[in-house]
């Protein structure tokens, strides 16, 4: 089974939403064959997704209400086929400790295309609801862009 991991800072907003969105989109295609999870570099463990992230995801029929944060785990990352980070600092952090994963770690705002200065997905934590909506929409658009590549891989 192909394993995709989304990475952000606390794993209570961006990566949690990304995990939920991809799972939802994949299920809507009636497909199997992937395992989607998420984690955070900040080390939060077993915390629920932010209430605003849950609310906005639910508005899009994506349920992340049961999500619980997971701290970064090297064994978990080593078992991944694709690691999609929200910001360059997340990617750099992983590659600092696990340089052998360089061919699996990318920015979610770019993969499978080339990274640019606009490939980072801004963290809405500490912001207002509008910031969370913008983050959700940005993540969803990137997942919609990635989906054909993932579907082709499993056709």
Active site residues per annotation: 8, 14, 123
CA 121 to chain centre: 10
Q: Decide: 120 and 142 in contact? Cβ < 8 Å.
A: no
CA distance 141 to 109: 9
**Rounded Cα gap, residues 61 and 20, in angstroms:** 10
Q: Which two tokens stand for residue 76?
A: 């978990």
CA distance 4 to 6: 7
* 44 in Cβ contact with 50 (< 8 Å): no
- Rounded distance between C-alpha atoms, residue 112 and residue 89, angstroms: 18
Name the one residue in this structure whose structure tokens are 């919609």: 144
């Amino acid at each position: 089974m192909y394993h995709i991991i989304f990475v952000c800072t606390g794993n209570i907003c961006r990566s949690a939403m990304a995990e939920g969105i991809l799972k939802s989109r994949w299920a809507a295609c009636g497909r199997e064959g992937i395992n989607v999870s998420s984690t955070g570099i900040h080390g939060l463990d077993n915390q629920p997704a932010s209430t605003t992230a849950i609310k906005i995801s639910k508005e899009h029929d994506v349920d992340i209400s049961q999500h619980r944060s997971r701290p970064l785990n090297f064994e978990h990352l080593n078992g991944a086929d694709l690691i999609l980070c929200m910001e360059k600092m997340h990617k750099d952090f992983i590659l600092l400790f696990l340089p052998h994963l360089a061919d699996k770690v990318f920015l979610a705002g770019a993969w499978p295309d080339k990274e640019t200065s606009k490939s980072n997905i801004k963290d809405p934590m500490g912001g207002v609801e509008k910031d969370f909506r913008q983050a959700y929409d940005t993540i969803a658009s990137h997942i919609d862009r990635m989906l054909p590549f993932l579907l082709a891989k499993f056709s």
